[in-house]
Amino acid sequence: MTFTQETKVKAREIISRYPVARSALLPMLHLVQSEEGFVSADGIALCAEELGLTTAEVAAVATFYTMYHRKPVGEYHIGVCINPGCGILGGDEIWSTLCNRLGIGNDEVTDDGKISLERIECQAACTHAPVLTANWEFLDNMTPAKAVDVVEKLTRGEEVLSTRGPRIRTFKENEETLAGFDDGLVDAGGNADELMLAGLKRAKELGMSAPEAK
């Protein structure tokens, strides 16, 4: 893919945010994914050129973190938590149901390019297990039937609201946000609920507090 001048301008804007240029690599990789849907060899070359790095240095980072993909993912990338907490409460069944329904497995994409699946070990959302994410937006307290409904609506292009945030946008749209560009959705979604605050509430009841910083 040949990147436009507009993309290069965005890349340089990202770089300008940091005192050391190479610190911009992670958001720049998100920028690349917002254009391509994955990190291609051309995307790696762009990051290397703009940051003064070797392509090997960029590729090492792009292959270390699981949020970067070296092949195209779906328009909606679905992550299903199968860690023990979620798995026991239904995550394993949700995973099996979606795989059977879509005819794909881990790190695979449906033929129409709409949906890809990823088995995720933990999404730090145990209070609302089992959970899945759609382009990193949370969908809490899921069931196999709810998961299928979400995927089918996304495939049809219907609006789906995440549990805690805004509507679920496409993978590319979300990647531009992760690159650090304003999406206008800062006020969308809800706040922490009682389950999320239970630990804090109990700590206050017991008079507990964090140690003072030294």
**What's the pLDDT score for residue 90?**
92
Q: Which domain holds residue 11?
A: 5-64
**Same-domain check for residues 163 and 83:** yes
**Which of 64, 90, 113 is the last residue before a domain boundary?**
64
* Domain-embedded: residue 163: yes
Is residue 108 within 8 Å of 158, Cβ to Cβ? Answer: no
Answer yes or no: do 82 and 158 share one domain: yes
Residues 44, 96, single domain; the answer is no
At 79 the three-state DSSP class reads strand
pLDDT of residue 173: 96
Quick check: is 102 in a domain? yes
Q: How confident is the model at residue 1, as a pLDDT?
A: 65
Specify the CATH number for the domain of residue 51: 1.10.10
Collapsing DSSP to helix, strand or coil, 66 comes out as coil
Q: What is the pLDDT of residue 120?
A: 93
Evaluate the CA torsion angle 98, 100, 104, 110 in order and state its sign: negative
Q: Is residue 209 packed enough to be buried (19+ CB in 10 Å), middle (13-18) or exposed (0-12)? A: exposed
Q: Which residues, 6+ apart, have CB-to-CB distance to 171 below 8 Å?
A: 33, 37, 73, 74, 75, 76, 77, 135
Whether 207 maps to a domain, the answer reads no
Successive 10-residue mean pLDDT values, the chain, 214 residues: 87 96 97 96 96 97 95 96 91 96 96 96 89 94 96 96 91 96 85 83 91 81
3-class secondary-structure state, position 14: helix
- Distance (Å, rounded) from C-alpha 99 to C-alpha 90? 14
Residues 60 and 117 in one domain: no
Listed residues 34, 64, 94: the one ending a domain: 64
DSSP one-letter code for 53? -
Q: 142 in a domain, yes or no?
A: yes
Please check whether residue 57 lies inside any domain of the structure. yes
DSSP 189: S
Domain count along the chain: 2
Predicted local distance difference test score (pLDDT) of residue 214: 75
Structural domain includes residue 177: no
Answer with the one of 39, 64, 89 that is the final residue of a domain. 64
Judge whether 92 lies within some domain: yes
List all residues 6 or more positions away from 75 whose beta carbon is below 8 Å from its beta carbon.
113, 114, 115, 154, 170, 171, 172
Q: Same domain for 83 and 50?
A: no
User: Are both 52 and 89 inside the same structural domain?
Assistant: no
Same domain, yes or no: 44 and 108: no
Same domain for 42 and 81, yes or no, is no
Residues 129, 80 within the same domain: yes
Instruction: Establish if 116 belongs to a structural domain.
Output: yes
Separation of CA 25 from chain center:
17
84 and 160 fall within a common domain: yes
Backbone angles phi, psi at 7, to 5 degrees: -65, -40
82 with 161, same domain?
Answer: yes
